[in-house]
Amino acid sequence: MGKRNGDLEIGKRAAEELLRLFPDMTEKQICQRMGFNRKDLWNWKSGDTPSGFLLQRMCFEGCDVKYILTGRREKK
């Protein structure tokens, strides 16, 4: 994935959203539950962007993907 300016924030917001959604779990536990590697989460914090497949998985788990992609929270 390219590291355009928006990509950097998408990855960080994805990691932030997972930690918000599962506050009582360690990063290792979150990654096991979601089916990806801890290195993926670390890479997102460093500026990589999650794949569409992983974003879809995060959506199914309850993550606010609109926030991850745009920086704007879904109004409830």
DSSP the chain: ----HHHHHHHHHHHHHHHHH-TTS-HHHHHHHHTS-HHHHHHHHTT----HHHHHHHHHHT--HHHHHHS-PPP-
pLDDT at 6 over 70: no
pLDDT of residue 1: 43
pLDDT of residue 8: 58
pLDDT digits over 20-74, tens only? 999 999 999 999 999 888 999 899 988 899 999 999 999 999 999 999 999 988 6
pTM of the entire structure?
Answer: 0.81
